[in-house]
Amino acid sequence: MTEFLKFIQGVRDDVVGNHDDQVFSEGFCEAATLFMELLSSRIADLREHIRSGSDPLLAPQALMLAELTELKEETEKALSDFDLGSRRSR
């Protein structure tokens, strides 16, 4: 194989690889955003239930609110750490 063909294949592989990385990154960010929106919505619903005062939260609902809030905080940190790590590797 000529050096020119090797060079062209290398360029092609770099372009395709970068495109695949970008598509993955965009899909990952979209999925993470969707998950965080759903999680935030569920937490907001439970908090609104508390504020309405119509019905006190049952123990399982209060536990769920605490667990969802903790999960959201842990997920935000993990996503932030992942984003920082991926930026450092660029």
> 0.75 exceeded by the pTM?
no
Question: Residues 10-15: contacts with CB within 8 Å, 24+ apart?
Answer: none
Best CA proximity match to 42, nearest among 65, 73, 62:
65
First CA to last CA distance, the chain: 31
Percent helix, strand, coil in the chain, to 5, is 90, 0, 10
- pLDDT 10s per residue in the chain (90 long)? 567 666 666 766 676 666 667 777 788 888 888 999 999 999 999 888 888 877 777 888 889 999 999 999 999 988 888 776 665 554
CB atoms within 10 A of CB 32: 16
